[in-house]
Structure 1
């Protein structure tokens, strides 16, 4: 065997590691994976069903947009506090509570009779998701040892990467074949199955020395700061980065300024809140009091560098999932379901690669598997960009997306492994919360950055192409330009069928393709930057990781 990290199978196996105990551990992993898949799918499943929700409940489109934003903002705000609660009360208990909250919230959303009750359900779903995600990662980090550890991280990472792409397909099918309500209701029976798995197979892991009182000021500042930053990143394109492009309202609240968008205010508020959090954390630590997130964790090279790499990878991954459907539907004319089936190749690659990440990590080390996965992601994205054309077959993208998905299954999983490998077991919960917050911020940044580039490239290319159509009246060109810009290309297929707009629609397809190609190449460059950064991961990342005894880890396996 060779590699940068000593083989994980040299770590002592847990006591009682017979066939029965091994089967129990894999049933535990299956339970964790189903729980994670529920919350990750719900981050993207609603997008394609928004028109049906608007029509079914008779709510305004601005209210419907908060159905997605409410889930993401609460998810981001509560990740760090939830990780700390898991360290204190037990990650198994937190996981079960999160599933209960998520299931009840899904039932509420599925039975909603109006916008307020639907938004309440989504907000509660976000709270449940914030409990589930760090709890599952902390259980894996603590309860899995030896050669099973790399395999478990592989499966967990492939579920994270793969189910993001499954959401639009599943949402489109449920909304069209049944009802948009099934998008939420289906979580209830699945949640019951997860609760049964928790009761039977998931061990309790916690730090008996941890304290829950970590400072209300720091906790509130951290939650508000992350929520404000995620809001600014996700909603900047919609409301304008500086000059307002539309009125902002959230329930009874209306943004009062007419010349400045709410986005700069949200970004400044987020930065100030995080500064308060950092100052409060430093003050409490100097006094020897417990803190929400021990910032000295960032002194660990693998944790520090790995978190930055995770943010970059999240930026590229979610940016690509944002851009691809626009190209497939706007430029190539696919409906939502067929576009989702093309993107499904990404999920297939990730889910196939996850289980193989463990054996590869055993042989070559986690660092090399991460680098190999990032290389495959970069190659897959660049290949997809090369193959994009206004008249291309959508299915030619399946191969590059499959390669990209395999890279996701390898890199995402083992990045989590590397980040947590040298973190003390008793701080697994807060470290997991920090890592997942980083992933979420990177994803929001990807949508913001790549979305802005797409809009700019589409507008420039479209105006240049429409100016060549001397035979088309200026009023028609202006109307086509406005419709394509406002819809990010989604209305191009409709334009092609209208009298007198066939030629402008063809130019719009070419402009959207050019913009999508530019953004996809930029995504590949960002992923390449993540690869280069990951070269700085310590060659011994994970070598100091040792498996604690059940007593040391606070394990309670029943």
Structure 2
């Protein structure tokens, strides 16, 4: 930590993570502006969010494996450059199709970059300094997450929505220079061999997982325009289901060399926790998608004020997650994972009452604070319980799969909620239609959280 190499490596990891966190927190805030500028429909806005999430959820485990095999710094740098180029393409988009395609590419870059930033730190620092380095990375990355909505909202108001993507270019340059200058290369020498032969990558598993998620997502997004019984919708559902079944069969056949060893699901606790993860993060994804559009197109707030609306939630997570983790370690995860979703659901029910001319302090802040408090009770105990539910040698893949499950939850929520609440076409630009949809979406999200609370109370126990 006290050497130029240590500081330079840490700088590269923090700035790279900051790029990803910035885009993940402000793209929702930009949706009304980019939708109006590009003439996007609700489906276009959904794919703008979900194209990125789909690639990240499907390929983040493969990205980590590539780093282990070919070099963590090399794959990390590839992810940074890829992410920056895709960001430039997003900012230059002249139509919804262009933007969505660029977001798919950006998600692929994120799948290389996201696991790489932490693995570079883990493999580069001396064991005595590793905990301090990762703690510094975590804290400063959290600060960038909190500042993201403010900076992004200001860029949208002062310049254009395009600058939330263009800003990644000047951030990427020092990342590349610092990593090339100071970060050492490393790889897992055991990752390239199993017995006497080279171990193949589980590319088939990654592709089948992406196809399964993509088929279901396409059907949910396209159903309002084409009809639930239309041939394209039914065909995409069939493709998604068949791909999901094939994914399970392929992973089972590959055993411990699979991207997702199916033996992990022999732990009932691991299975339940990941279903719980999908439910909770679906509520989070649906909440952030609808709130950003609603506050701008109905309540009449600026992009910057909309971005600032959810900052208390981020601050609560930064300040309270370690305390929630310590509490869970003392009393077990069941109580926090039961109470947390109930508190978050109460926050969403409060937000249903937000109307045009609403005050931030009396109408929005109480609901956002309750939602953030509930989420704080959930995140750290959930992560710790997932890791404790499997053998130590599977800690990396268990953590990666849980991360993918959280992104899949957000992906499915953004795809399904507009269908469930009857929002399609350009309805997000019409105050009455968007108001009804927002209130219905908050009700669905609150119901999902309460179902998660019931699941936790009945099925989750302290891991051995």
TM-score by length of 1: 0.66
Q: 2:398 aligns with which of 420, 426, 431?
A: 431
Indicate the SS of the match to 2:228. coil
Q: Find 1:523's aligned residue among 445, 454, 464.
A: 445
Task: Decide which moves more: 375-384 or 173-182.
Answer: 375-384
Query: How far is the alpha carbon of 1:316 from its aligned partner?
Result: 0.8
Task: Find the counterpart in structure 1 of residue 219 from structure 2.
Answer: 232
Matched, 1:320 2:287: yes
Unaligned runs of 5+ in 1: 1-18, 244-259, 457-484, 493-507, 542-558
Alignment CA distance shift 1:167-1:354 (3 Å): same
Q: Within 2, Cα distance between the matches of 1:279 and 1:361? A: 35
Q: Is the 8 A contact 2:349 2:443 kept in 1?
A: yes
Contact 1:155-1:355 at 8 Å conserved across structures: no
TM-score by length of 2: 0.77
Which of the pair is proportionally richer in helix? 2
CA displacement 1:481-536 (0-9 Å, x = unmatched): xxxx75445333xxxxxxxxxxxxxxx4xx86565444324322321222232343
When residues 323 and 123 of structure 1 are mapped into structure 2, their CA distance, relative to the original with a 3 A threshold, is: closer
| Closer/same/farther in 2, CA of residues 359 and 430 from structure 1, 3 Å limit | closer
- For residue 42 of structure 1, give the secondary structure of its aligned residue in structure 2: helix
Tell whether 2:319 aligns with 1:352.
yes
RMSD between aligned alpha carbons?
Answer: 4.5
Q: 2:463 aligns with which of 515, 533, 540?
A: 540
2:430 matched to 1:491?
A: yes
Q: Choose the corresponding residue for 1:267, options 237, 260, 281.
A: 237
Matching of residues 70-89 of structure 1 within 5 Å: 70-89=51-70
Contact 1:149–1:358 (Cα < 8 Å) also in 2: no
| Matching residue of 1:547 | none
- Seen in structure 2, the aligned counterparts of structure 1 residues 316 and 353 have a Cα distance that, compared at 3 Å, is same
Q: Distance in 1 between matches of 2:395 and 2:165?
A: 31
Once residues 135 and 272 of structure 2 are traced to their aligned partners in structure 1, the CA distance between those partners, rounded to angstroms, is 18
Judge conservation of contact 1:371–1:531 (CA < 8 Å) in 2: yes
Of 205, 208, 226, 2:190 maps to 208
Question: CA 1:439–1:388 in structure 2 vs 1: closer, same or farther (change >3 Å)?
Answer: same
* CA–CA separation in structure 1 for the residues paired with 2:61 and 2:50: 19
Q: Distance in 1 between matches of 2:412 and 2:446?
A: 15
- Residues 45-93 of structure 1: CA distance to partner in whole angstroms, max 9, x if unpaired? 345546765787xx66379655545433333332342243345446555
| Change in 2 beyond 3 A, CA 1:35/1:215 | closer
Change (3 A) 1:64 1:443: closer
Mapped partners of 1:327, 1:296: distance in 2 = 43
* Structure 2 match to 1:173: 154
CA contact (8 A) 2:84 2:168 kept: yes
Bigger CA drift: 364-373 or 337-346? 364-373
Q: 1:277 aligned to 235, 244, 247, which one?
A: 247
CA deviation after TM superposition for structure 1 residue 191, in Å: 3.0
**1:151–1:355 contact (8 Å) kept in structure 2:** no
Structure 2 gaps, min length 5: 194-198
**Whole-Å separation in 2 of the counterparts to 1:216 and 1:180:** 35
1:130-209 aligned at under 5 Å gives the runs: 130-135=111-116, 163=145, 170-195=151-176, 206=188, 208-209=190-191
> 1:154 touches 1:358 (CA, 8 Å); kept in 2?
no
Aligned twin of 1:405: 372
